[in-house]
Amino acid sequence: MPRSLVGSCLAILLAVPAVAPAAAADVEGPLNARFQGGWVIVRVPIASDCGGLYTNNAVHGTGTDSGGSERFAGGELVRVERIEVRRGGRVDVFLDLAEQVLAAHQDGPFTLYTPRSCKVQLLVDSPRNAALADLEAALDELFELHAAAREAEASPAWNGRRRAEYPPDYTRTLAEHAAWKAEQANLAVGERMDEAIEEAARVNDRVRSDPDYLAGFAAGVAKARDVSLGDCSSLVGDRLYPETERGRGEAWNDGYQDGQRLAWNLELLRRLRSCWVPVPPAPG
């Protein structure tokens, strides 16, 4: 193939992928200039996992398909975070819902509630290289745009949703939960201390006067001093897996492991004593 023809083909191939991004940029900027940061009422129902990430919502006519766990009726008030126009022509609109949801979770016998913010990523299909006017018209069918949240709330299109209120007497529930958590923490500390005492006592019963055993025992105590323990939240779950050394006899390694166990459990007991927490008084 002549060099001139090869050069022409390369020029065409290199030029093709540059067309879509340029066209996308031509419309993405004006769309953001109009919508980004604005408050809109979404005319279609949407859904979100309300977990800090944007949940996909594929737009189909007057509805959306989404796996989001929290469902919102049409008329939800949102803020447009940004708009991105993809190479294939799809328009992605990132939305932050104005109102949170109150998510319930169970902790022991208590039902607790946590406010969560919700985010939605609307996936709006459009032809490749669609004109700006066509994209604006498509978004205008989905959104009612307002300059401020209060202005949007005055619109008849707003669904009026507010975040649910906490249950009555929830302050008392929180106080009772705090007392229960402290009691549970102290119970776990006490049980772990009992285990450490029992383990140390078993080691003490196994100690023997064999020179090889005692040499290994002393080395094990020294070894355990190099093991770092975590904070109170991890101490109750910490476990020691004593090591052995190759080339040593069975008696030496028995002592080596027992020395590690005894020193480690004694240090664990010392640290656990500072892990008791005061139990808040029960609400009156």
* Mean pLDDT along residues 31-40: 96
pLDDT band at 22 (very low <50, low <70, confident <90, very high): very low
Token couple for 197: 């005492």
Helix, strand, coil fractions of the chain, as percent rounded to 5:
45, 20, 35
Rounded Cα gap, residues 211 and 209, in angstroms: 6
User: For residues 238-272, b (16+ Cβ closer than 10 Å) or e, as one string?
Assistant: eebebeeeeebeebbbbbbbbbbbbbbbbbbeebb
What share of the chain has pLDDT > 70, as a percent? 91
pLDDT band at 50 (very low <50, low <70, confident <90, very high): very high
pLDDT tens per residue, range 265-277 = 999 999 999 999 9
Rounded Cα gap, residues 79 and 35, in angstroms: 9
Least confident range from 20-24, 144-148, 170-174: namely 20-24
Full-prediction pTM beyond 0.75?
Answer: no
